[in-house]
Amino acid sequence: MVSRMLILIALYISSVAGETEEAPYTVLKEHQGWEEREFPATKWVSIDVFSITVHDSPEQQKAFFQLFNYIDGQNSEGMKIPMTAPVSFRILPGEGPNCESNFTLSFYIPSNLQENTPLPLDSAVYIEERAPIKVAAKTFGGFVNSDIEFAIQAAELYELAFAEGLGVADVPLWTASYSGPNVIINRRNEVWLEIN
Which pLDDT does position 185 carry in this prediction?
Answer: 86
Q: What's the predicted TM-score (pTM) here?
A: 0.86
Q: Which residues contact 7 (CB under 8 A, 6 or more apart)?
A: 64, 87, 177
Which pLDDT does position 19 carry in this prediction?
Answer: 82
Give the single-character DSSP code of 150: H
Work out the burial of residue 13: count CB atoms within 10 Å of its CB; fewer than 13 is exposed, 13-18 middle, 19 or more buried: middle
* Mean pLDDT, residues 94-118 taken together: 87
Which pLDDT does position 173 carry in this prediction?
Answer: 87
* Mean pLDDT, residues 8-14 taken together: 49
pLDDT band at 182 (very low <50, low <70, confident <90, very high): confident
* Mean pLDDT, residues 163-183 taken together: 88
